[in-house]
Structure 1
Amino acid sequence: MDFFNQHSALWLLGLATALLATGLVAGVLAGLLGVGGGIVIVPVLYHLFTLLGIDESVRMHVTVGTSLATIIPTSIMSSRAHRKRGSLDAALLKKLMPGVVVGVIVGSIASGFLSGHVLTAVFATVALLVALNMAFKRDGFALADGLPGTAGTMLLGGGIGGVSTLMGIGGGTLSVPILNALRVPMHTAVGTGAMLGTLISVPGALAFILNGLDVPNRPPFSVGYVNLLGFALIVPATLATTGWGAKLAHSIDAKRLRQVFAAFLALTAARMFYGLLT
């Protein structure tokens, strides 16, 4: 509590407003892009925690853990909205699920040993690569027609689950461009990615809670590496706006959807690289 007493009521009100605004934008993106909002929540929380003076040793871990926690209700709402519109492919989800779960487990264990700088570098690098792919991919380009064999799909799901856990994002950030490159229709990739966000965020958030228990220098109102203040302010806003994003996704053509997705990823990567270099 003494930590918060160091700042004025107006300053704290500004912080709360920023968190609510983050939730509003993240909710729209969750429905629009199937990313669970983490692509916005992670960099914003990281910079807010920097302004708050949260210790660098735990800053990125708390950011990722809190983001994963907020993704849980958002991804559930988003996947339900897409399922009603027929853009959630249950057969595709079933094939990817085993690998994703294994990847989440590996990523969760690794997160307990990796430094904040490594987590930040992973987030920025992957976000930039995905953004470049989405921005410059030619129409009709495909790596293959459909998912690879059983072993390949297992590795694919494992990569999506593991990297997404380390980045604190929903599975759509990686699964949408990958599935689209395998000739899965864009809206189907987005809807399926939203459901992957649920599979990733639930065990991922739990792991960050366990990994952060009794760790010093965490911000107040944190359980493990999940900050309850951020969760309480962001989640209501995301739940209120997720449906808007899902409706918007079905009124925008696939090319426009890729452009929006790429723009947000590039902005996120630039912010994180800036944080590493300064």
Structure 2
Amino acid sequence: MHIIEYLTSDLFIAFVTLLSLGSIAGFLAGLLGIGGGAVLVPGLYYMYTHFGFSEAAMHTAVGTSLLTILLTGTASARSHHKLGAVDIPMLQKFIPGIVGGVIIGSILALYLSAGALKASFAVLQISFALYMLIRGNKISIYPTMPSQPWFSIIAAINAALAALMGVGGGVQNVIYMTICNVPLARAIGTASALGPVIAVLGAIGFMIIGQSSNATLPYSTGFVHWPAFFCIILTSVVTAPIGAKLTHQLPTKKLKNFFTAFIFIISIKMIYEVLFK
């Protein structure tokens, strides 16, 4: 194959796309504690659809995204922990609710169609983007985190949504903590450490529920696509620590505004496709 033919081949385009997605997702995971799913799920979905795997595209995008967050989130969390931004006692309080929530979210995914899953993802992301846009930097509403059982109930709801949508739960957990007066940098650091816990449980769930599907992609275990996973983590684990360091060095307002706009554009496109295609 000539070099020009290779550079324009589907294989090369997919490889470059996945490396790019990994770079962006890793950087944002470190910078904002989001896990990277908000970038990976729509990116993988459109790539799979482009290559003719539309039937399993959304579920595979979610499952694969979750598994990548395991490593990307770990790289991000380690960097935040070195900078003293992970609240370990609070992290431990999150765990019971997260375990229950991820199990619920994975079970719900089994009964949702691709269209319903896509619409749910889009609505969730738009809701968080609207909140970030409206509140800006004035996010704090309550003086402290809630006591039990409300702490675990809210953690479970956040984890269920995260597992269902293929995200690390960072967006909703950062918002949850900052609403309750946790400093933004500490909320981002703690949320980044929660992502791998949600991701590993959710990814296992999508591997299992995908076993009963006849529409899985080649080289997949259930709804986890291994070639995409390995390509993404090649770059995401490198850029996640870079983003984590910048969290503590640069103002993130402009980047948050950019990210909010990105969420709006992708989510509205998904909703349009559900309604009109």
TM over 0.5: yes
Amino acid in structure 1 at the alignment position of 2:187: A
CA contact (8 A) 1:60 1:116 kept: yes
SS of 2:35's equivalent?
coil
Amino acid in structure 2 at the alignment position of 1:64: V
Provide, for residues 201-242 of structure 1, a one-character-per-residue CA deviation record: whole Å limited to 9, x for no partner.
Answer: 001000100111152121111111000111111111101111
CA contact (8 A) 2:27 2:239 kept: yes
Q: State, as a whole percentage, how many aligned pairs show the same letter.
A: 37
SS of 1:64's equivalent?
helix
Alignment correspondent of 1:216:
214
Alignment correspondent of 2:38:
39
Structure 2 counterparts to residues 257-268 of structure 1, below 5 A: 258-268=256-266
Alignment correspondent of 2:229:
231
Name stretches of at least 5 consecutive residues in structure 1 with no aligned partner.
Answer: 1-6
Structure 2 counterparts to residues 19-58 of structure 1, below 5 A: 19-56=18-55, 58=56
Name stretches of at least 5 consecutive residues in structure 2 with no aligned partner.
Answer: 1-5
Q: CA deviation at 1:268?
A: 3.3
Q: CA deviation at 1:263?
A: 3.1
Amino acid in structure 2 at the alignment position of 1:172: G
Q: Give the alignment's Cα RMSD to 1 decimal.
A: 1.8
1:104 aligns to 2:141 (yes or no): no
Q: Which stretch of the first structure deviates more once superposed, 224-233 or 94-103?
A: 94-103
Work out the CA distance in 1 between the residues paired with 2:208 and 2:138. Answer: 44
Amino acid in structure 2 at the alignment position of 1:33: L
1:152 aligns to 2:150 (yes or no): yes
Work out the CA distance in 2 between the residues paired with 1:67 and 1:240. Answer: 17
Work out the CA distance in 2 between the residues paired with 1:82 and 1:158. Answer: 23
Alignment correspondent of 1:136:
134
Work out the CA distance in 2 between the residues paired with 1:141 and 1:222. Answer: 41
Q: CA deviation at 1:91?
A: 1.5
After superposing on structure 2, the runs of 4+ consecutive aligned residues of structure 1 that deviate more than 6 Å are none
Amino acid in structure 2 at the alignment position of 1:41: L
TM-score by length of 1: 0.92
Work out the CA distance in 1 between the residues paired with 2:192 and 2:139. Answer: 23
TM-score by length of 2: 0.92
Work out the CA distance in 2 between the residues paired with 1:240 and 1:105. Answer: 30
CA contact (8 A) 2:168 2:196 kept: yes
Q: CA deviation at 1:55?
A: 3.8
Alignment correspondent of 1:3:
none
Amino acid in structure 1 at the alignment position of 2:34: V
196, 199, 217: which is aligned to 1:198?
196
Alignment correspondent of 1:14:
13
CA contact (8 A) 1:31 1:244 kept: yes
SS of 2:164's equivalent?
helix
Q: Which stretch of the first structure deviates more once superposed, 47-56 or 128-137?
A: 47-56
259, 270, 273: which is aligned to 2:271?
273
Alignment correspondent of 1:4:
none
Q: CA deviation at 1:37?
A: 1.0
